[in-house]
């Protein structure tokens, strides 16, 4: 029983060509205008499902609880990021 020969080993150059880097993908998305289109689509979907309103409400509630002058942007990010990432979009 004969087996076909194994494929030639891939070099780093071959792998880079087959798997473009994130930077290369980002450049192509920007050049084609797809990045802006995708960002706008994401904004629309987040608005439609109420995610944006929910995040605003969480920020307002936290600010009221701690006092307006006692809250930084970093505080808000720390508090709402886990909740925002954990919410599912339906």
Structural domain boundaries of the chain? Answer: 17-48, 50-90
pLDDT band at residue 11 using 50, 70 and 90 as cut-offs: low
Q: What pLDDT is recorded for position 16?
A: 54
Q: What pLDDT is recorded for position 14?
A: 56
Q: What pLDDT is recorded for position 46?
A: 95
CA distance readout (Å), 78 to 27, 60, 62, 83: 30, 14, 11, 10
Q: Does domain 50-90 have CATH number 3.40.50.300?
A: no
> ∠ at Cα 54 (56, 76), nearest 5°?
45
The first and second tokens of residue 79, run together, are 């508090």
Reported as a single tens digit per residue, the pLDDT across 23-57 is: 999 999 999 999 999 999 999 999 999 999 999 99
Given a cut of 70, is residue 81 above it in pLDDT? yes
Given a cut of 50, is residue 90 above it in pLDDT? no
């Amino acid at each position: 029983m004969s087996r076909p020969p194994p494929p030639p080993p891939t070099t780093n150059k071959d792998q880079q060509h087959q798997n473009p880097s994130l930077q290369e993908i980002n450049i192509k998305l920007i050049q084609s205008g797809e990045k802006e289109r995708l960002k706008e689509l994401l904004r629309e979907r987040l608005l439609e499902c109420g995610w944006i309103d929910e995040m605003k409400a969480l920020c307002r509630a936290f600010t009221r609880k701690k006092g307006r002058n006692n809250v930084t942007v970093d505080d808000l990010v720390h508090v709402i990021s886990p909740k925002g990432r954990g919410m599912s979009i339906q």
